[in-house]
A and B are shown apart, each in its own frame.
Chain A
Amino acid sequence: MTALIQLRDLAKIYQSGDSEFAALRDVNLVIERGEFVAITGSSGSGKSTLMNILGCLDSPSRGSYELGDRDVAKLSRIELAKVRNEFIGFVFQNFNLLSRTTALENVELPLIYARVPPAERHKRAREALEHVGLGHRAGHTPSQLSGGQQQRVAIARALVTRPPLILADEPTGNLDSATSVEIMKLLTDLNRSGMTIVFVTHEPDIAAYAARKLLLKDGAVISDLRQQPALAEAS
């Protein structure tokens, strides 16, 4: 296995007036390709900040962040947008689908910005929807779908560009427990197919699906455990 993510002495410091607040301090972390990682911690522990930096939505104040073989810590906004498009798929707690837009078009969105021609775009989006078991709902808009279905559409959107990394921020936070299990199964399947998945959660039973569990506190990683994933031997 080779490293997909390497963080060295990474820090994020917010300045307000004279006082400084370190949301992240000296984080050193290596995530290999194909890992399934849960980031846990109480609110204010810095997990969201870490996710934003991992997702190239934000830049660190100090330290380096290598994604694949490039240092993304000091990229411009334009280059960060390209990295997000090519290397990262996002899954959000509140799904973040475009309203009044069909599932298929939502899934196509990253491909538009990847300049994929329309015909291929439709084909790949449809495949991604079928992958998450929603091929028959392609023409439905988010308001016509259940929460679980909306999150599946969001996952299809995250994987349609075939990125090496999928980041999920509280992916089951807005779902009931039965649906949460379905979504975690889907993420487990994706991980088995070779995608690196990093997700944030504060629920221990959701974190149990991961093979590695990080615990953050006050902006630092205080524990890093390998564990037997919940669905380890499921078909």
Chain B
Amino acid sequence: MISIGETLRLAGRALRRNKLRSFLTTLGIIIGVGAVIFIQSIGEGAKSRVRAQIESAGTNIVMLFSGASQGPGGRGGAGSQPTITWEDLRAIQTELPSVRAVAPQINSNQPVISETSTWNTQITGTTPDYFVIRNWPVADGALFTASDQASAAKNAVIGQTAADNLFGPGIDPIGQIVRIRDAPFTIVGVLERKGQNAMGMDQDDGLFIPLSAFQTRMQRGLGKFVPGRISVSAVSPEAIPRVREEISQLLRERHRLGPDEEDDFSTSSMAEMTSMLTSTQETLTLLLMAIALVSLVVGGIGVMNIMLVSVTERTREIGIRMAVGAQPADILAQFLVEALVLAAIGGALGVIFGVGAGRFIAPLFGWTMETKTQIVIIALAVSAGVGIVFGLYPARKASRLDPIDALRYE
């Protein structure tokens, strides 16, 4: 057989000779590979955005809920029956080495009244550790303190969106007084902007007050049980399963639950939420990928079709080549390499097209793009494979022509 270099040169010439046809043939592959790259990039981008949003809620977090009520009035959801006491909370904080911080939180939507306007926003009652867990510092002013929590002080930390709506631009929120259910709260800090969370809620539209103040102003007052849900942050992502295990053991012990009694609390980790949210997206991406792959195969059929046409058109050329000494393997290689070059060029252009289309389209819809190198490699390999698979039949056909018949072909 003649050298690969020679065969490549031949293929290049043949393809250049029919530029438009070659281009139209590769178009199928370009669109197929482009679609694979584009869909994968958008899918990956969306996934990592969800992940980032979930992580913006705080890293290494285990959520702890009071138990589900099992009373005669029917079963309720997790947290419907408070079972976790302040004592339990302190025990988790102090006795478990894998736990970094613990913060209960309770929310309520309330109108907040400033001197100039009224704004409905989410009031969160929590403890100062909340901001540690969520990794959420103040942009201006200070957080409320542990002693504010102890004394149910009417100090509040405000998010940027809520601040803008309550005070308008150009007014420093620090030191302003707002009223919630007639109780005056002093703004002591403005939080840094955090953006949307995984559910698309604006996290900056909120007001944070000590949990004790929340309970005395908005609930029946301080009680034995911790209201709402509790965020527990582990010392590291690896410690998350251990933290859940330890909390479970500790609370079962403290609540004196027998071996056959069910937990009167529940935990879930952000990792679970992440995988739940991303798995839907993954399914969708896979489905679209399957469609894109089908279009790649259709592109391959296009290559096969044009190679068959080419073999027929060039029957005489094949005859001439055979007459002067081309072996069947030389003819096979010539047409196979031609198909392979078509597919490979299509693959390369497809990658450029896919990434390019992503770059152009993604910003229009506010999507993020993330192209994985391995997908690019796989896409190129698949398109080369398509070239070989769909080029083989026409190439074999060419190599098996009878030289006499081929020379006589008109």
Contacts and interface: CB of A to CB of B under 8 A. Distances in A.
A55 B404 CA distance: 10
A82 interface: yes
A90 B328 contact: no
B404 to A, nearest CB: 5
Contacts of A77: 327-328
Interface in A99-136: 100, 109-110, 112-115
B326 interface: yes
Contact of A96 (B323, B328, B329, B404): B323
A98 B325 contact: no
B26 to A, nearest CB: 21
Given A52-B404, A57-B403, A115-B2, A110 B317 contact: no
A84 B323 contact: yes
B325 A82 contact: yes
Interface bracket on B? 20 to 34
B252 interface: no
B316 interface: yes
Interface in A52-111: 52, 55, 57-58, 77-78, 81-82, 84-86, 90, 92, 96-98, 100, 109-110
B3 A78 contact: no
B328 A78 contact: yes
Contact of B324 (A52, A58, A113, A115): A113
Nearest to A77: B328
A113 B320 contact: no
A157 B404 CA distance: 18
B317 A58 contact: no
Contacts of A52: 404
A86 B324 CA distance: 9
Contacts, number: 58
Interface in A167-211: none
B321 A113 contact: yes
Given A81-B325, A82-B325, A82-B327, A98 B3 contact: no
Contacts of B403: 57
Contact of B320 (A55, A58, A109, A112): A109
Interface in B1-58: 2-3, 6, 17
A82 B320 CA distance: 14
A52 B404 CA distance: 8
B320 A96 contact: yes
B330 interface: yes
B123 interface: no
B328 A86 contact: no
Among B321, B327, B404: residue with most chain A CB under 10 A: B327
Interface string B290-333: 00000000000000000000000000110111111111111000
Nearest to B407: A96
A3 B217 CA distance: 120
A181 to B, nearest CB: 26
Contacts of A113: 2, 321, 324-327, 330
A96 B317 CA distance: 8
A81 B2 contact: no
B327 A78 contact: yes
A173 B12 CA distance: 35
B6 to A, nearest CB: 6
A78 B39 CA distance: 48
Interface of A: 52, 55, 57-58, 77-78, 81-82, 84-86, 90, 92, 96-98, 100, 109-110, 112-115, 157, 161
Which 8 A-B pairs have CB atoms at the shortest separation, nearest pair first? A85-B325, A110-B324, A113-B325, A81-B327, A57-B403, A84-B325, A113-B326, A96-B320
15 contacts: A52-B404, A57-B403, A57-B404, A57-B407, A78-B329, A81-B328, A82-B325, A96-B407, A97-B320, A98-B317, A98-B320, A100-B17, A109-B321, A113-B321, A157-B324
